Structure 1
Amino acid sequence: MMSSSRFKSLWTHRFKKYTHIVGKFWSFALKYIHLRRLKSTLGERPLVAIILSEQMGDIIACEPVAREVRRRHPNGHIIWIVREPYIELVKYHPDLDGYLVEKCPGERVWLLRSGIYDQVYNMHISHRKCRYCPEDPVNPTSDKMGLTFDNYLDKGDLLYTFSQAAGLPALTDNPRLYIPESVRRQVSALKLQASPIVIHCQSSHVMRDWPAENWNHLVRWLLETYPHPIIEVGVNPIVSLEHPRFRSLCGQLSLLETAEVIHQARLFVGIESGPAHMANAGGTTGIILQGQLFDFVDYLTYSGRYKRGEGVTIVNYHGHPCAELPYADVQLAVQQQLGQPKLV
């Protein structure tokens, strides 16, 4: 006989599943109608879709795709298909005419099958399904490349690989972020100390992270050794200390506000995650902490200046996860960037 907790869990899952599927149907219908109406106003202009709906670092790294697609379709109406948390990353791009919020990969499949788009540049790898939907998203171009979630980081940086998955040449440009003046004013209103060291300590995946005690040790050493203020960004605070030159902005900033804070930094120190891609796109000198991720040992996700080794130090304990990265290696990298310590 099924226990009450298992029974409740089963029916909670079923409720969420069928609610999601019904919501997907209505979301698809409304978007299809919207796109049909949009196409009726475009005349002979093609409706062009760029599809890379998540993750933060992937979208930032692949920003040059928008510029390449605009070069190919100067008269096209170009939209980027994106999940709601990442709208900011594409909203202000000058080469885009708009964006469309994706509910889930299953909805993406329905819109592609509808033929509503005149041209599609799909950067997704096949078979990343919605947890509730039966549809299996397939990208024939990435399949021809032999691209899978087990090997994609072995093929090259994110832009190099995903641009080819979209049917474009392998792109290698510097990514850019487009930050409106309204966001700059919001960051200015925070009255941050000038030329800070910005740190980002926790990713969405524990395998990318460095221990909290190491971060706290590093920040204490920095405050004792250098005159720079230190700002922590991210979702959850990791550093737990009070100091007039330390400030946590975790959970307080939008994506583009975070990017602007990093852009103003003297130095960015962080794990391999979305904010590190912001540092690359913003021209900020960076120290990136990286280790083995699943079976990926020697990989680099960045294009442009970080790929060329300009303004960046990648601290990688090869063959070991980031959590095992020696503290001394990171401290040395910081010291090499900031110069000989000066007692405060």
Structure 2
Amino acid sequence: MASWSNQRALWTYRYHKYIHIIGKYRSVVWKYLYLRWLKYKAADRPLVAIVLSEQMGDIIACEPVAREVRQRHPNAYIIWLVRKQYVELVEHHPDLDGYLIEKCPSERIYLLRTGIFDKVYNMHISHRKCKYCPEDPVNPTADQIGLTFDNYYHRGDLLYMFSQAAGLPAMTADPKMYIPESIRQRVAALRLQESPIVIHCQSSHIMRDWPAENWNRLVKWLLDTYPYPVIEIGLQPVVTEEHPNFRNLCGQLSLLETAEVIRNAHLFIGIDSGPAHMANANGANGIILLGQLFDFVDYLPYSGRYKRGEGITILNNYGHPCSELPYGWVQDAALQRLGQPKLV
């Protein structure tokens, strides 16, 4: 029985692998033809690519690269290569002429090899491979400065590191998010209570998370102590509190809708994740919970306001994972940010 189960899993994997690879080659041809058409349409304008296809926090943190590239190439046709799930983060940027959806890193290799782009700013570190494709993506600029997955957080924040991987000077600018009026109207239609405390409790990596019991305890204390409503955002809910001033929006918002909710927050409290970068880019005051991540102990992913310590409290019990961050530290930070509660 176990042997049949293993064989089934193997053939299922092979099926998805070969379907993916066939689709990749078709996609390369189609996108090459599309880029040729773009070059024809753009006439004498050079075609410039910015490459950072994932993750959410990385793309938000590195938004200033688009502004820098526009300054360097004022007349260029500039596009951002991005994975489908993150298109929202770049499609409204005023310094970009468009975006190109990347199917996988291997597809990117073939597109870059065609020489269709007049200039490429590749922010990816080498050797982040597709799970199905044999090609190994390499960024010679990142390799030249010795930037690897083992040391990148020792070098500085995400923008500082990845801008150098792209061959740009080390950047420290404040990231921005561009939220269209249509998104703001959609969030307004949710009729959320004003000045909420917005929390984000669960990241894509368990090493970044804080225990669910601590989040529930914190939310109960916030609701019992302050008049501010509490909103949980993210993909999966962690908080189980039932209260008229608590609202769970997990799994109900797009990326830019999430950013708009955070923009309107009185305070953001969260772990190291994409929404924390949204808070930084949208000017929200925040409390960020950090902890040891692999071999990275003393690290800070954020540039701009949060790096300067403006409107932010960073909590890190150095040498311990985020899960071991004392509850009292977070409650004390909230007291400092929200002020002493008024006695009734």
TM-score (ref. length: structure 1): 0.99
Corresponding residue for 2:11? 11
Partner of 1:116: 116
Distance 1:148 1:256 in 2: 30
Report Cα offsets for 1:159-196 as digits up to 9, x if no partner.
00000100001111100000000000000000000000
Is residue 2:211 matched to residue 1:211? Answer: yes
Percent identity (aligned): 72
**Structure 2 residues not aligned, in runs of 5+:** none
Counterpart residue number, 1:291: 291
- The one-letter amino acid paired with 1:296 is F
1:8-38 CA distance string (max 9 Å, x none): 0111111111010000001111000100111
Does the Cα contact within 8 Å between 1:225 and 1:343 map onto a contact in 2? no
Are the aligned partners of 1:61 and 1:303 in contact in 2 as well (CA < 8 Å)? yes
2: CA distance between counterparts of 1:304 and 1:173? 5
Aligned match of 2:193: 193
Match status 1:67 vs 2:63 = no
1:100 to 2:100 alignment: yes
Q: How does 1:4-153 map to 2 (within 5 A)?
A: 4-153=4-153
AA aligned opposite 1:199 = I
Tell me the residue number matched to 2:181.
181
Distance apart, 1:342 and its partner CA: 2.6
Residue aligning to 1:230: 230
8 A contact 1:262–1:278 mirrored in 2:
yes
SS of 1:199's equivalent in the other structure is strand
Post-superposition CA distance 1:252-281 (Å, at most 9, x none)? 000000000000000000001000000000
Cα deviation for residue 227 of structure 1 reads 0.6
Q: TM-score, normalised by structure 2?
A: 0.99
Task: Provide the secondary structure at the position in 2 that maps to 1:87.
Answer: helix
Tell me the residue number matched to 1:336: 336
Any conservation in 2 of the 1:226–1:343 contact (CA below 8 Å)? no
The 3-state SS of whatever aligns with 1:91 is: coil
**In 2: Cα distance, 1:317 partner to 1:70 partner:** 40
Uncovered stretches (5+) of structure 1, i.e. residues with no partner: none
RMSD: 1.0
Divergent runs of 4+, >6 A: none
Alpha-carbon distance between aligned partners in 2 of 1:15 and 1:43, rounded to the nearest angstrom = 42
Q: Contact 1:52–1:122 at 8 Å: present in 2 too?
A: yes
Q: Distance in 1 between matches of 2:138 and 2:343?
A: 57
Aligned equivalents of 2:44, 2:264: Cα separation in 1: 43
Q: Which residue identity is paired with 2:40?
A: S
Shift of 1:343: 4.8
Aligned amino acid, residue 118 of structure 2: D
Correspondence 1:169 to 2:169: yes
Which amino acid is 2:22 matched to?
V
Aligned pairs for 1:249-260 (under 5 A) are 249-260=249-260
- Secondary structure at the aligned position of 1:289 is classed as strand
d(CA) in 1 for partners of 2:299, 2:11: 42
SS at 2:90 equivalent? helix
**CA drift at 1:2:** 8.1
Change (3 A) 1:52 1:212: same
1:310 maps onto 2:310 in alignment: yes
1:276-323 C-alpha deviation (Å, 9 max, x unpaired) = 000000000010000000000000000001000000000101000000
Please give the secondary structure, in 1, of the residue aligned with 2:79: strand
Give CA-to-partner distance per residue, 1:33-90, whole Å, 9 cap, x none. 1001111122211000000000000000000000000000000000000000000000
CA 5–73 in structure 1, closer or farther in 2 if over 3 Å, else same: same
Q: Determine the C-alpha separation between the residues in 1 that align with 2:48 and 2:74.
A: 11
Instruction: Give the residue type in structure 2 aligned to 1:340.
Output: Q
Q: How many residues align?
A: 344
- Tell me what 1:267 maps to: 267
Secondary structure class of the residue paired with 2:268 = strand
CA distance, structure 2, for counterparts of residue 43 and residue 193 of structure 1: 50
